[in-house]
Amino acid sequence: MIRLVRGWIERGRVLLARSRFEDDLDEELRFHIDAATEKYVESGMSQAEARRAALRALGGVEVTKEEVRNETGVRLLQDLSHDLRFGVRTLLRRPSFTLTLLATIGIAIGSNAAVFSVVYSILLEPLPFAEPDRIVRIHNSYPGRDVARAMNSVRDFYDRQDVDAFQDVALYTEIGHNVGEEGEARRVFAMQVTPSFFSVFAAAPAIGSLFPQDLVRGAASYAVIGNALWRTAFGADPGVVGSTIILDGTPHEVTGVMPEGFEFATWDAQIYTPLVFAPEARFAQARNADRFHMVARLHADASVESAQRQLDALNAVLVGDYTPENRAAALSAGFRSEISGYLEDLTSSIRRPLLLLWLGAVIVLLAAIANVTTLFLIRATARRREISCRLALGAARSRVLRQLLTESLIVAAIGGAIGIALAVWSLTFLDAFEVYEIPRIDRVGISTTVVAAGMLAALVLGTVAALLPARGLLWGAGRSLGGGFRGGVHARPSRVHHLLVGLQVSFAFILVMTTGLLVESLRHLSAVDVGFEPDGVAVGATNLPRNAYPDPASRVAFAHTMVEALRAHPDVDQAAIATQLPFSNVENRALVFPDGATTAAGEGGTSAYRTAVTGGYFEAMGIRLLAGETFTRTDDQASRGVALVDEGLARLLWPDVSPIGKRIWLNQPTGNPGEALEVIGVVASIRQNSLTAPQLPGAVYLSFSQSTDSFFRIVTKTRADPAEVSALAVEAMAGVDPSVLYYWVDTLGDAVGGSLLFLRLPLRLLAIFAGVSLFLVVLGVYGVTTHVVRARTRELGLRLALGGTQSGIAGLLAREWSAVLGAGLGVGILGTSIVLQVVRSLLFGTSGLDLPVAGATLAIVFTAAGLAFFWPVRHALRIDPARALEVTD
C-alpha cells in the first residue's frame, strides 16, 4: 500500500516537474555518452568513432528517453488528461444531452443524499450516551381500555428494580420552570428525575456533582443544570456550583453542571431536580396512578427480549397478589408493560414515514440509473461510426473503453457534485415542512460520509452507464463502419432499451400510485370532523409560580382576570382557560364511576379524557353544547361539584336516560356525596389527540374554579389573525402580572395540522419524487423514440411514399411500445404492493388496493409516456418522403 502511494507520488512529482525531469534525463544520458566516448577514445578510437560506438552501445538516446518516460507511469496520467479534455469537448458539443444527464444524476443523487441524511440523523445515528443500545423505555399498556401507552407509577419503580435484566431503573417527568427572580424569570424546560436517571444514561456532571446521596422528600432543594443553560444564563461560570437559583420562586442549590451533549431530543431539559418519594409511597400510591416516564439501563448481557420476559413474569406475580377487584380490572384492561429500545421508542412515530421516503429516494435513484443508461445507449448508437473508425485506425479497445468511461465519469462526477449541492440546499427547506416536532431533526446535516457515498454512487452510476453501451460498441461495431444504419436494422430499439424504459415506467407507477394513496388518505383525514372549530383560535400556556399563587383561589382569580383582560379587546370573541387542550400530545384521562351503576367487582370505571375549563371554553373552541348548561363563575370551591360530559361518555354511562342531574365520581367510586360531581350539561364529542387513531370514547369536563392547577392553557378565539392575538395575550398577561410567563404560543389550526405531519412530510417529498420519475419516463420514451424515428427516417419515408398513412405508421411504431408499457405497468403494480408493506400503517380510509387511485395513476403514466412518444413521431412524419429517402444517417 505504502509502495503504491509512493509510486503515485513519484508519478505526480514527474508530472509536475516535467521540464526538470527532462533536463535531468538529458544530462544523465549526456554524461553516459561522454563517459563511454572517453572510454572508447582511450582504447584507441577517434573522437567521432568513439562517439558513434557509445551511441550504439546505448541503443539510441531518444529510444532510451522514451523508455524511461514510459517507466515513470506518467503516460497514464497524460492519457487521462487527454481523455478528460476530449470528453469535455464531446459533452459540450451536445449540450442538451449533457444537461439532461446532469439534471438526472443531480436530482437522483441529491434526493438520496438529502433523504439519507435525514434518515441517518434521526433513525440510525446512535444517541449521545454511553452504550445507548442498553437504554430502554418502559410503558404500561391497557389495550382493553384503548390506552396503548400509559406511563408508570411509583410502585412500578420499586417493583421493577427486582428485574434482573435492569442495571438501573429511573422515573422522570417532563416539567417546566420559571427560572430567576420574579419579573425577569425565563421559562426553561426541566425534568424531575430519580437520582438513578443519570446512571441509566451513564452520565456524570462536567463540574460539581449530582444530587446528594441522602435526599429526603421535602428537605433542601437541589438542582443540576444543563450545559446550554449554564453557558447562556450563567456565562459558563464554574462558580455556579454551590450557588442558589430560583425555580418558580423557590431557591434551589445548584450541585452540578451536565456536560455538553447531555440532552434529550424531545424535551430539551436544562434543569434537573430530584424526584424523591417518601418510603411509604411505594405502597401508598395507587397502582393506576401512572404519572411517570420510566427508563432503564440493561445489563451488558441482557437484551430487550430477555428483559421483557422477566418483566412479564414479574407482572404476572404482582397481578396475582392484587385484590380480586384490581386483578379483574387489570385483566380486563389487558394490562401489560412494554419495553422498547430508547431510540426506537423516540422515533417510533416518524420511522415509517422516513422509511417510505428512503424507499422513494432509492426508487428515484434506480430510475435515474435506467434513464442515464438509456441515454448513453442512444448516444452510443449515434457514435457507432466514430468508434468503428477509431478501432479500424488501430485504436486499442481498452483505450476507446477508457475514453468512453472517462466521458461518463465526467458527467457522473459533475452530476454528483450538483446532487450534493442540491441536497445541502434542500435541507435548508426542512423548516418549511413544519418538522420541528420530529425528534433529532435539528441534528440533520450533510456529513462527509454522505458526500462520499453520494459521489461514489454517482461514479458507480456513471460506470454502469458507460459499460453497458460500450459492450455493443466495441465488440459488435466492426461491421457498422461501412453501412451506417441504412437499412434501419441496427436502429430498432434493442431489448435493453425496452427493458430500461419499461423499468422507468414501473418506478414511476410505484411512486405516483403511492403518492396518490397518501393524497387520498389526507383527503379522508381532512374530512374528519374534529368536533371543534380550530380556525381563529390562538393558544398558549402558563405556569403560575407557587409562592405567588399558593392556593386555588389565587389561581382562579388570576385566570379570570386574564380571561377578562383578553375579552376586553375588540378583536377577541371569547377567551378561556383549560388544563389540557386537544392535539397537544398530552392525554390526561380519569376513571369515571357513575352513581347507581352497579359497580361489579373488578369493574374499572370508564376511562374519559379529563380537562378542567372555564365557562367560555366551549364557545371559544366551537364545541357544541347539546344539552344543559356550561360552567359559570359561581361554580367555585364552595359550591357543589359540577361536570359536563361529552356525548360519547353520556352514551356509555346512560344509554337510555338524560345524563343531566346524574352524579359521578372520578378515579375512586367512593360514593361519598361530598366528592360527587353533578352532570350539568352534555357537549359534542371531539377528537382529542389524533385524526387517525381510533377515537377513545368519552370526555369529562370539570370546572376550572373547582379543579384548578398552576399549569394551564389559554384559549383565545379571534376574528383577526390568531398569530397577532398571541402577541395580544402576551401583553394582557404582562398587564395582569408581569412575573408570569406566557409560552407554547401556537394556533389550534397548526396544532391539528401538525398531527398530520407524519403524512404531509412524506407526501410532499414523494410527490416531488413521483414528478421526477414521470419526467424520467418522458425523457426515456422521448429519447428512444426520437432515436428510432431518426434512424428509420428512410424506412418511414418509404412507407409514406408508398401510401402509408401517418396514423398507420404511428400505430406501427406505437405497437412496439405497448408491450413495454404494459410490462412496465405490471411490474409497477407488483412493486407498489411491496411498497405498500411499508406504507399501509400510514394510510387512512384507503386499503391500498384503491382502484380509482390505480386508475388515475395509469392515466397519468400513460399520458406522460404517450406524449413523449407522439411528439417526436408526429415531427418525423411531417418529413417530405423524397427528402427522407436521401437521408443516409
Partner 1 sequence: MGEPKSDVLLGTLDLLLLKLLELGPNHGWGLAERLEEVSDGVFQVNQGSVYPALQRLKRKGFVKSSWGVSENGRRARYYELTTGGAGALKEELARWARTAGAVEQVISLRPSASEAGS
Q: Identify the residue among 11, 149, 402, 624 touching partner 1 (CB under 8 A).
A: 11
Min dist CB 423 to partner 1, Å, is 40
Among positions 227-266, residues that touch partner 1 (CB under 8 A) are: none
- Of 726, 763, 773, nearest to 746 by C-alpha is 726
User: Is residue 3 involved in binding partner 1 (CB under 8 A)?
Assistant: yes
CB distance 562 to 741 below 8 Å:
no
Stretch that binds partner 1, among 20-28, 89-97, 298-306, 874-882 (CB under 8 A): 20-28
386 binds partner 1 (CB under 8 A): no
38 belongs to the binding site for partner 1 (CB under 8 A)? yes
Stretch that binds partner 1, among 28-36, 150-158, 353-361, 518-526 (CB under 8 A): 28-36
Q: Which backbone phi and psi does 404 adopt, to 5 degrees?
A: -65, -40
Task: Find the Cα–Cα–Cα–Cα dihedral 599, 602, 605, 609, rounded to 10°.
Answer: 180
| CB of residue 47 to partner 1, shortest distance in Å | 16
**Can residue 124 be called a binding residue for partner 1 (CB under 8 A)?**
no
Query: Residue 518 is which amino acid?
Result: L
- Residue nearer to partner 1 on the CB measure, 42 or 184: 42
Tell me the closest approach of the beta carbon of residue 87 to partner 1, in angstroms. Answer: 23
User: Can residue 731 be called a binding residue for partner 1 (CB under 8 A)?
Assistant: no
C-alpha cell at 49: 568513432
User: Do 677 and 649 form a contact (C-beta atoms < 8 A)?
Assistant: no
- 3-state SS record for 511-564: HHHHHHHHHHHHHHHHCCCCCCCCCCEEEEEEECCCCCCCCHHHHHHHHHHHHH
- Taking the complex as a whole, the smallest distance from the CB of residue 395 to partner 1 amounts, in Å, to 14
Q: Please give the residues from 606 up to 625 whose contact with partner 1 meets the rule CB under 8 A.
A: none
Among the residue ranges 35-43, 126-134, 265-273, 660-668, the one whose residues contact partner 1 (CB under 8 A) = 35-43
User: Which of 22, 23, 24, 889 contacts partner 1 by CB under 8 A?
Assistant: 24
Measured from the CB atom, is 52 or 187 closer to partner 1? 52
Q: Please choose, from the candidates 30, 28, 33, 40, the residue with its C-alpha nearest in 3D space to the C-alpha of residue 55.
A: 33
| Residue 636 three-state SS | coil
CB 51 to partner 1: min, Å = 14
Q: How far is the CB of 83 from partner 1 (least distance, A)?
A: 18
Q: Which of 15, 32, 533, 829 binds partner 1 (CB under 8 A)?
A: 32
- The answer to whether the beta carbons of residues 501 and 869 sit under 8 Å apart is no
Residue 398 or 598 with smaller CB distance to partner 1: 398
Contact pattern for partner 1 over residues 336 through 355, marking x by CB under 8 A: --------------------
Size of the site for partner 1 (CB under 8 A): 30
Does 671 contact partner 1 by CB under 8 A? no
- Residue 20 beta carbon to partner 1: minimum distance, rounded to whole angstroms: 12
Q: Interaction with partner 1 in 39-68: which residues (CB under 8 A)?
A: 57-60, 63-64, 66-68
- Pairwise CA distance, residues 436 & 757, whole Å: 10
Question: Rounded to an integer, what distance in angstroms lies between the CA atom of residue 101 and that of residue 107?
Answer: 10
Contact region for partner 1 (CB under 8 A) — 2-10, 77-85, 651-659, 733-741? 2-10
Look at residues 277, 274, 272, 273 and name the one whose alpha carbon lies nearest to residue 155. Answer: 277
Residues 6+ apart with CB under 8 A from 236: 230
Binds partner 1 (CB under 8 A): choice among 22, 31, 239, 601:
31
865 binds partner 1, rule: CB under 8 A: no
Exposed / middle / buried, residue 375 (Cβ in 10 Å: 0-12, 13-18, 19+): buried
15 binds partner 1 (CB under 8 A): no
268's grid cell: 430539551
Which residue, 2 or 216, has its beta carbon nearer to partner 1? 2
As measured in angstroms, the least distance from the Cβ of 405 to partner 1 is 21
Could you tell me the smallest distance in angstroms from the CB atom of residue 74 to partner 1?
10
Of 63 and 313, which has the nearer Cβ to partner 1?
Answer: 63
Write the burial class of residue 1 (CB in 10 Å: 0-12 exposed, 13-18 middle, 19+ buried).
exposed
Q: Does the footprint of partner 1 cover residue 12 (CB under 8 A)?
A: no
Please say which residue, 36 or 477, places its beta carbon nearer to partner 1: 36
Question: Which of 728-742 are b and which e, b meaning 16 or more Cβ less than 10 Å from the residue's Cβ?
Answer: bbeebbeebbebbbb
| Piece of the chain touching partner 1 by CB under 8 A; list 4-12, 167-175, 729-737, 762-770 | 4-12
| Residue with smaller CB distance to partner 1, 61 or 720 | 61
Place of cell 404511428: 810
Least separation, in Å, of the C-beta of 381 and partner 1? 32
The span of 33-41, 249-257, 752-760, 865-873 binding partner 1 (CB under 8 A) equals 33-41
**CB closer to partner 1, 30 vs 471:** 30
Residue among 376, 462, 455 nearest 110 (CA): 455
Nearer to partner 1 by Cβ, of 7 and 483: the residue is 7
Site for partner 1 in 71-90 (CB under 8 A): 71-73
Work out which of 22, 28, 131, 721 binds partner 1, going by CB under 8 A. Answer: 28
Residue type at 724? E
CA distance 52 to 373: 59
C-beta separation of 715 from 776 below 8 A: no
**Helix orientation angle between 793-801 and 851-877, rounded to the nearest 10 degrees:** 80
The span from the CA of 499 to the CA of 824, in Å, is 8
Which range touches partner 1 (CB under 8 A), out of 29-37, 355-363, 382-390, 763-771?
Answer: 29-37
**Alpha-carbon separation of residue 543 from 7, 555, 710, 714, 814 (angstroms):** 71, 10, 5, 11, 71
Site for partner 1 in 286-325 (CB under 8 A): none
Output the nine-digit C-alpha cell for 411. 458527467
> Interacting stretch for partner 1, rule CB under 8 A, among 21-29, 376-384, 438-446, 749-757?
21-29
CA 708 – CA 612 distance, rounded (Å): 7
Q: Grid cell 402577541 — which residue?
A: 727
Using DSSP, state whether 566 is helix, strand or coil: helix
Q: How far apart are CA 475 and CA 804, in angstroms?
A: 37
Among the listed residues 70, 161, 847, 863, the single contact to partner 1 using CB under 8 A? 70
7 binds partner 1 (CB under 8 A): yes
Q: Which residue has the cell 423514440?
A: 785
* CA atoms of 707 and 613, how far apart (whole Å): 9
Of 96, 67, 273, nearest in space to 782 by CA = 96
20 binds partner 1, rule: CB under 8 A: no
* Shortest distance (Å) from residue 415 CB to partner 1: 34
Question: Which has the closest alpha carbon to 418: 88, 103, 96, 101?
Answer: 103
CB of 79 to partner 1, least distance (A): 12
Question: Residue 273 in contact with residue 262, Cβ under 8 Å?
Answer: no
| Contacts of partner 1 in 154-213 (CB under 8 A) | none
Does residue 10 interact with partner 1 by CB under 8 A? yes
**34 near partner 1, judged by CB under 8 A:** yes
What's the CA gap between 631 and 24, in Å, rounded?
101
Between 61 and 328, CB nearer to partner 1: 61
The residues that touch partner 1, with contacts defined as CB under 8 A, are 2-3, 6-7, 10-11, 24-25, 27-29, 31-32, 34-36, 38, 57-60, 63-64, 66-68, 70-73
